[in-house]
Amino acid sequence: MSLRSRQGRAVADALQALDHPTADEVFQAVRRHEPKVGLATVYRNLDALVERGAAQVRHVGGQRRYDPMTARHAHLHCTGCDRLTDVPLEGPLLDSLRRLADEAGMEFEDALLEVRVLCPRCKETRP
Ligand SMILES: [Zn+2]
Ligand SMILES: [Zn+2]
């Protein structure tokens, strides 16, 4: 396997293994196996995955994060530890979002929903 495709594979693997990582987090993970990889290469490979429809970009808490799950879903965003949990976005909730657009006379396209939460661990450690 060429260096280029090995690095591409390492980026895709890191994206799967990490939890909605930033490009820098992917870079740190890939660098452990591919010490010569550059941040620009990581960006290029992440952008290629997004272009191929194998990942999407979500902006959460002011950060650009990569998400290998491309089916429509919502995020539970813990404001304590910044972790994102994927939850399905469907059923009555999706229906009412569609209705919101409808009632405004607009055509629904998609919904990127972030629900802010405190995960059990953060809830426990918060004063
Ligand atoms: Zn948390
Ligand atoms: Zn997600």
Neighbours of ion ligand 2 (CB under 5 A): 67, 69, 86
- In this prediction, residues 54-82 reach a mean pLDDT of 92
Smallest-distance ligand from the CA of 60? 2
The predicted pLDDT at position 60 comes to: 85
The predicted pLDDT at position 3 comes to: 83
pLDDT > 90? residue 67: yes
End-to-end Cα distance, the chain: 52
How far away, in angstroms, is 84 Cα from ligand 1 center? 9
The predicted pLDDT at position 42 comes to: 96
